[in-house]
Amino acid sequence: MSTVSEKNSVVEGDRVSVEDDRLLRKVDRRLLPVFTLLYLLSFLDRSNIGNAKIDGMTTDLGVSPASYNTALAIYFVGYVVFEVPANVCAANSNSPLQLTSFPPDDKCNPQVWLPSLTLAWGIVSIGQGLVKNQAGLFGIRFLLGATEAGLFPGVVYVFSVYYLRHERSWRVAIFFGGAALAGAFGGIFAYCIGLMNGVGGRRGWQWIFILEGILTSGRFPHRIFHCAHLVSRCQICACSPSVLSPQNVNLLQLSETEKTRLLDRLRADSDAGTDQVFKWSSVRDAFSDHLVWAYAFLFHGFSFVLYSLSLFLPTIIAGLGFKTWQAQLMTVPPNVLASFSIWTTVYFSSKYNVRAPFIIGAAIVSIIGYILLIACTSAGLQYFGVHLAAAGVYTGNSLLLSWPGENVSGQAKRAVAVALQISVGDIGAIAGCLIYRPTLSSHLYRTPNLIAIGYLLFAIMMTTYLWVVMSVENRRRDRLLSKGEAKEETEEERIRLGDRSVRYRYRI
C-alpha cells in the first residue's frame, strides 16, 4: 500500500503509526458507543414483539396465529422497500467526510438522517403499544420497518468514510453486537415490564412496546444539533445528533491536523478520502455487479435464520416446557453467548485478515445447533442447541455485513451495495416469518428448522463463491502487474474504476 505524504500518517499494510492509533481510539470513543446503542434499541424495538406475543398480545388484539406471522413479515416489507432509497439519501453529498462539515451540504446526509430516523422509529415503537386491533398492528409494523430501514446501512456507510478497509469489520461487529445484546436485554426487560400488567389500565405487553419506545426516542430536543446536555439524561435519540453534529464543540474532538491525517489515511487505502460527486451511474454499477448480488444472497441465507431465531426464540424455549416468565429470562444466555462469540471471532478474523473461513465456520456451528434442536428429545440438549444456533448465526452475520463495505469501491456504489445486501437479505427474513407458521410448529418447529439448515447451506455456497471468485481475480491482477501488462492509471481513472481497477485487491 502506498505511503501518504505526512510522516505521522504512514499506513504500511495493516499497521498504523502510534499517532494514527491514537486517532482511531478517539474516533471509536465518539462513534461506536452511540451507534451500538442505537442498533441495540433498533433490534429491540423490532424483535420485542416475540416477547409481547407470549405475554398475551395476540389474544388481546384478536390476532390469529397465522396473522401474527403476517405481522412479522409486514415489518420486513417496509424494511426492504425503503432500504436502498434510505442509503441513497445518506450518501447523496459532495463531501467525502460530510459529517465533518456544518451546516451540511445536503439536508439528507447522515448527521441529519440517522437521528431523524431514530426519533421516527421510537415514536412508531410506542405506537405498537397503543394499537387496538389486528389492522392497527399490521399498519404500525410496516411503519416500523420503513423508519428503521436506513440505520444499519447508513452506519456501515459512515464507517466507510472514517476507517480503512481492514479496520471496518471489527467496528461493524461491535455495532452488530447490539443485536445480540438486544436479545439478552429484551428478555430481562420483558420479564420486568410484564410485572406492570394492569398499571394505568394497560396490559404488560403494551408496556413492553411503550417503555422501550420511550427509551429510544425520549424527549426530542427543540434544536436537534444543540443537545449535548441531554446525553446525561439517557435520552438516546438525543445522543446521535449530539455526536454527529460538527457544530458541537465536542464532535469527535479532532484537530485540523487530525482531520488531515484521517483523510490522508483514507486516500492511501481506498476512495473514502476523495471528493466524489454523486452519480446515478454508480447506482447502476452496483446493480450490475455480480459480487454485489452475491453479498446480498449471502445475507439472504443468514437473514432467514437470524430473524426467525430472534423472533421465535421465546416461543421455542416456552415449547421446551418452561413457563412464560421462565422463557423470557431463558432467552438471555443464548444472546449473551452470541455477543461474546461475535467479538471473539471477529477479533481473530481481523487479526488474520480473512472473512470467508470464519463465516463458513459460523454457519456450521449454527447447523449443529439446529441438528441438536431437531434430533434430541432432552430439553437440556435442545436448549444447548439453541445456544449454538444463536452463536453461529449472529457471528456469521456480523462478519458478512461488513464485507461489501470493505470490497466495494466508489462511495455511491458502496452505499447502494450495502443497502442492497440488506434489502435482498431481509427477503429471507420475510420467508422466515411466513415459514415459521402455526401449522408447522409441531416438535418445536422441526420442519422450519430443517429449512433453516437449508438456508445456512445456501449461505455456505455463496461464501465459497465469493471466496473463490475474488481470490482468482486477485491472482489475475497480480499476474498482470508482475508481467507489466497492466495499463497505467491516473488517480482520476483509479477513482472512476473503483474495485475494477487492476490495482485494487479484494479482502477475502
The pLDDT of residue 467 is 97
H helix intervals, 319-378:
324-330, 332-352, 356-375
Taking the C-alpha atoms of residue 9 and residue 267, their distance in angstroms, rounded to an integer, is 11
- pLDDT by residue (tens digit) across 54-66? 888 999 999 998 8
Higher pLDDT, 35 or 490: 35
The pLDDT of residue 335 is 87
- For residue 11, what are the β-bridge partners? 16
User: 262 near 97, Cβ under 8 Å?
Assistant: yes
Taking the C-alpha atoms of residue 186 and residue 195, their distance in angstroms, rounded to an integer, is 14
Higher pLDDT, 463 or 408: 463
The pLDDT of residue 113 is 67
Tell whether the model's pLDDT for residue 498 goes beyond 50. yes
59's CB contacts (< 8 A; 6+ apart) are: none
Tell whether the model's pLDDT for residue 263 goes beyond 60. yes
Taking the C-alpha atoms of residue 14 and residue 6, their distance in angstroms, rounded to an integer, is 17
Confidence of residue 111 (pLDDT cuts 50, 70, 90): low
- pLDDT by residue (tens digit) across 350-373? 888 899 999 999 999 999 999 999
Domains of the chain: 12-500 (1.20.1250.20)
The pLDDT of residue 101 is 37
> Across the chain, what does the average pLDDT equal?
79
Q: How far is CA 381 from CA 45, 350, 384, in A?
A: 30, 32, 5
- The reply to whether omega before 85 is within 30° of 0 (cis) is no
Tell whether the model's pLDDT for residue 106 goes beyond 80. no
pTM given for the model: 0.77
The pLDDT of residue 8 is 36
- Residues 469-488 have a mean pLDDT of 87
Taking the C-alpha atoms of residue 196 and residue 210, their distance in angstroms, rounded to an integer, is 12
H helix intervals, 149-255:
151-160, 165-194, 204-217, 236-244
User: 108 near 90, Cβ under 8 Å?
Assistant: yes
List the Cα angle 111/179/458 in 5-degree steps.
110
- Residues 81-104 have a mean pLDDT of 53
DSSP state of 228: G
Confidence of residue 226 (pLDDT cuts 50, 70, 90): very low
Higher pLDDT, 103 or 316: 316
Confidence of residue 278 (pLDDT cuts 50, 70, 90): low
Q: Coil, strand, or helix at residue 366?
A: helix
- Residues 133-160 have a mean pLDDT of 86
Confidence of residue 502 (pLDDT cuts 50, 70, 90): confident
**Which amino acid, one-letter code, is at 276?**
Q
The pLDDT of residue 469 is 96
- Residues 457-462 have a mean pLDDT of 98
Tell whether the model's pLDDT for residue 235 goes beyond 50. no
The pLDDT of residue 5 is 35
The pLDDT of residue 304 is 95
Least confident of 95-99, 184-188, 306-310, 364-368: 95-99
Confidence of residue 248 (pLDDT cuts 50, 70, 90): very low
Place of cell 485478515: 353
H helix intervals, 10-56:
18-47, 49-54
Place of cell 487492476: 502
* Phi-psi sector, 237: left (phi>0), alpha (psi -120 to 50), beta: alpha
Q: How far is CA 124 from the centre of its chain?
A: 20
Farthest CA pair distance, the chain:
78
